[in-house]
């Protein structure tokens, strides 16, 4: 009979054993199910997301739990844990004896192993469950090491409310990493799972009770010889300093952005973010809130990335919350680009053969577009005549940028922005934006801008930004190293922006920082991107509603913020210098002609010429005799005329159309060669009106239409014909007003040597 019962018992245990879960992957499975933990690059917790039961866990490996905590847990729960096979026979017999004497359950005698079984798969507290847990404990002990079981317990044990595990409890109750808890704090952490609601330190009553329980646990540890009795005195009573904190919510906009990625790589996300820098950025943005409010601006966003592409800090609003739509992320919002795209336009021109000294005619003119005539204006409504690439980019001149765009081609620039991923997937085709793309009539995000400027900071190599440690990004060359260096030099040179920006203190960093500002139409969006060989910094300021600011430019709104960020990044010293590529040579160039300076040039500046095509920049041949004039080509005819009408004669003159070319070459800058890449040569161009323009006669206003043309070379006059009938002969600036007549008309402009241009217009 006894043998039969023994066999039945063995059979029941065997069947139960095989029917129970396999625990060999228990730690990995529980870790995956514990929710998501987001860390910064140094392992600091940014945010913890709950599991399916809305419980929060900060999972740690067994080696990350200190020995005092492990000893306290053994003293509290299972002092024979290192030796028993999953259940404690001595404790079990004692519990049966005590419970029979009391005729009720007084002691459960559950081991740590059995508690882990119950934490993994909760069951009703019945005798059958006890048997299942006992057998499960045996199986767990067979399949796992003691350290693996203890790791499960330390991470799964209930610690009050929806908090699980000693690591998160240490953070919430003591505001410290579990690795740094002392013996008294370890006693508290060991006590809480014994009755999580009664011993909850967040309740005044619970705090007193958990301290008493802590003392009992420490006394048991002394009895086992794990703690020196003399040390016990300073551990008893109110020896624990509670610092109750909330669940961490660090870098909220960044974490929200990260969690929107699909699929997430795992329950532990180690990000590239630097939480200390992040806090500094948040403080800086908040500190500028009152100043921005006075400018009619409610919000601002900041993105800081290392030059290798790692995102180090992201601030999506002045305050993360409902106020002023602060849950929105300004870093990801698509807003008007303003002038932030100009460096890429000029970089494309340099790659195609231009130099920083290449002359551009910053003069008013209109352009035909499918949406109507387009007349770009500089921000101050002035035109500056002959400028070079350095002046045009440094002072962010709109007229010059559009002319460069016209010459290098809209399609090429659009394709460049696509390669740089500045344009979103929902961007319209190139023709939709037209020449206005040069001055930012497209919506971009701060994220994409910082990513694109990284190519300039990285010597022409482009790579997407990274947000997770271990992410790999493939680099691709977008610009030559020489081009990236020249653009960086221009943007870093305070003297290059004096014409329109002056020298504000917030753009004085004490060392070179490349900066580019931007302001969208109607002052809705303010931008400033700055970069060094180490970092790329982007700032946006504006209103999420789209309401314009009080006429504030990007430099004024964003400059002081960037200044504070730069000071924070380089408080221990400036960034390294940028090395000049071997493909560039330094040369002094004449400030008037843009050619290599001679001893006669009164004003000169240092420029970097490309060794490949910079030989085209010849030696300055202006006489500089004190009375010499600066002769300009036909593109400047109207500009010179307007300038002399307002200011009187100046050193600028239109070149003599009757002078022999051989004589001209001795006195004139080489502007006829037009060093910027040109798609086609036009002997004469009618710039007003445009082809197929329509005009409506008005009974209240003069019905005069401006005719204006630009010949390929300076000529004495142009002959204007309407429908084959000559209506006038105009010397420079080659313009006249025609009294409009209803109908469709052909307009011709003809040079003395017979070159002509034609447009057809309609008058209704």
Where do the domains of the chain lie, and which CATH numbers do they carry? 2-35+48-235 (1.10.3810.10), 36-47+250-333+445-477+495-581 (3.40.710.10), 584-667 (no CATH), 684-763 (2.60.40.10)
**What was the pLDDT predicted at 254?**
97
DSSP assigned state of 273: -
pLDDT number for residue 677 = 45
DSSP state of 217: H
Q: How far apart are CA 172 and CA 163, in angstroms?
A: 9
d(CA 263, CA 274) in angstroms, rounded, equals 23
pLDDT of residue 675: 45
SS3 364: coil
Strands 743-750 and 630-632 turn out to be unpaired
CA 99/CA 52 separation, integer angstroms: 37
Q: What are the average pLDDT values for consecutive 10-residue runs of the chain, which has 764 residues?
A: 66 67 88 92 94 93 95 90 75 53 54 89 72 80 92 95 95 95 94 94 90 91 85 84 93 95 80 98 98 97 97 97 93 96 97 91 87 87 92 95 94 96 90 92 97 98 95 92 96 90 90 96 96 98 95 95 98 93 88 80 83 75 69 88 86 71 35 41 84 89 92 92 93 94 94 92 92
* pLDDT value at residue 709: 94
The whole-number pLDDT of residue 104 equals 46
Distance CA 301, CA 447 (A): 10
Q: How many CA atoms lie within 13 A of 695 on its CB side?
A: 24
Phi, psi of 335 (to 5 degrees): -135, 165
Cis bond before residue 550 (omega within 30° of 0)? no
Note the pLDDT of residue 266.
76
Place of tokens 């990493």: 177
The whole-number pLDDT of residue 612 equals 78
Predicted pLDDT at 93: 57
CA distance 49 to 733: 70
How far is residue 53 CA from its own chain's centroid? 35
Q: Are 311 and 254 in contact (CB under 8 A)?
A: yes
């Amino acid at each position: 009979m006894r043998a039969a019962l023994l066999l039945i018992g063995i059979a029941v245990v065997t069947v139960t054993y095989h029917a129970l879960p396999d625990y060999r992957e228990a730690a990995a499975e529980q870790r995956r199910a514990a929710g998501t933990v987001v860390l910064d690059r140094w392992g600091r917790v940014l945010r913890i997301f709950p599991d399916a039961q809305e419980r929060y866990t900060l999972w740690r490996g067994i080696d990350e739990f200190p020995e005092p905590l492990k000893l306290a847990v053994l003293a509290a729960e299972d002092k024979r844990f290192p030796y028993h096979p999953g259940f404690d026979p001595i404790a079990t017999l004692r519990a049966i004896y005590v419970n029979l004497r009391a005729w009720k359950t007084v002691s459960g005698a559950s081991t740590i192993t059995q508690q882990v079984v119950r934490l993994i798969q909760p069951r009703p507290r019945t005798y059958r469950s006890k048997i299942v847990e006992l057998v499960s404990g045996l199986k767990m002990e067979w399949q796992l090491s003691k350290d693996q079981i203890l790791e499960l317990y330390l991470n799964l044990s209930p610690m009050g409310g929806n908090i699980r595990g000693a690591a998160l409890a240490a953070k919430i109750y003591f505001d410290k990493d579990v690795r740094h808890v002392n013996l008294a704090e370890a006693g508290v952490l060991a006590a809480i799972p014994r009755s999580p609601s009664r011993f909850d330190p967040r309740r005044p009553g619970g705090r007193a009770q958990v301290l008493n329980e802590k003392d009992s646990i420490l006394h048991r540890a002394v009895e086992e010889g794990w703690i020196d009795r003399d040390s016990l005195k300073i551990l008893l009573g109110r020896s624990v300093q509670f610092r109750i904190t909330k669940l961490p919510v660090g870098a909220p906009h960044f974490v929200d952005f990260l969690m929107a990625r699909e699929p997430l790589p795992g329950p532990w996300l180690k990000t590239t973010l630097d939480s200390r820098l992040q806090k500094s950025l948040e403080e800086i943005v908040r500190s500028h809130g009152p100043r921005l409010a006075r400018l009619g601006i409610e919000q601002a966003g900041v993105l800081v990335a290392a030059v290798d592409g790692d995102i180090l800090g992201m601030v999506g609003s002045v305050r993360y919350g409902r106020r002023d739509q602060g849950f929105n992320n300004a870093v990801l919002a698509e807003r008007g680009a303003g002038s932030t795209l100009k460096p890429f336009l000029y970089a494309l021109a340099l790659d195609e053969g231009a130099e920083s000294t290449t002359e551009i005619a910053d003069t008013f003119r209109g352009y035909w577009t499918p949406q109507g005539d387009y007349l770009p204006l500089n921000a101050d409504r002035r035109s500056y005549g002959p400028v070079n690439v350095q002046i045009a980019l440094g002072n962010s001149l709109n007229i010059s940028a559009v002319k460069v765009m016209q010459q290098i081609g809209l399609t090429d620039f659009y394709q460049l922005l696509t390669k740089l991923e500045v344009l979103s997937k929902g961007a319209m085709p190139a023709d939709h934006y037209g020449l206005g793309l040069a001055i930012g009539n497209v919506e971009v995000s701060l994220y994409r801008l910082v990513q694109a400027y990284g190519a300039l900071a990285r010597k022409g190599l482009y790579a997407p930004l990274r947000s997770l440690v271990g992410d790999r990004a493939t680099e691709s060359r977008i610009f030559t190293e020489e081009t990236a260096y020249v653009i960086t030099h221009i943007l870093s040179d305070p003297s290059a922006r004096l014409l329109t920006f002056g020298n504000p203190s917030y753009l004085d960093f004490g060392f070179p920082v490349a900066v580019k500002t931007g302001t969208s139409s109607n002052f809705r969006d303010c931008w400033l991107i700055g970069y060094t060989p180490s970092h790329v910094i982007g700032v946006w300021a504006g209103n999420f509603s789209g309401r314009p600011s009080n006429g504030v430019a990007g430099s004024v709104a964003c400059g002081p913020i960037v200044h504070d960020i730069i000071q924070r990044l380089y408080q221990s010293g400036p960034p390294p210098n940028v090395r000049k590529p071997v493909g560039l040579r330094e040369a002094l160039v004449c400030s008037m002609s843009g050619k290599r300076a001679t001893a006669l040039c009164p004003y000169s500046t240092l420029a970097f010429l490309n060794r490949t095509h910079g030989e085209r920049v010849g030696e300055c041949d202006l006489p500089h005799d004190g009375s010499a004039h600066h002769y300009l080509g036909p593109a400047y005819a109207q500009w010179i005329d307007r300038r002399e009408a307002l200011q009187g004669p100046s050193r600028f003159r239109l070149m003599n159309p009757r002078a022999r070319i051989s004589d001209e070459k001795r006195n004139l800058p080489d502007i006829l060669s037009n060093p910027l890449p040109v798609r086609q040569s036009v002997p004469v161009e009618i710039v007003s009106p445009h082809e197929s323009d329509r005009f409506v006669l008005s009974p209240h206003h003069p019905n005069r239409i401006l005719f204006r043309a630009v010949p390929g070379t300076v000529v004495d006059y142009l002959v204007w014909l309407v429908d084959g009938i000559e209506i006038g002969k105009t010397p420079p600036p080659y313009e006249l007003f025609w009294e409009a007549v209803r109908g469709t008309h052909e307009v011709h402009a003809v040079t003395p040597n017979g070159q002509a241009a034609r447009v057809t217009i309609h008058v209704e």
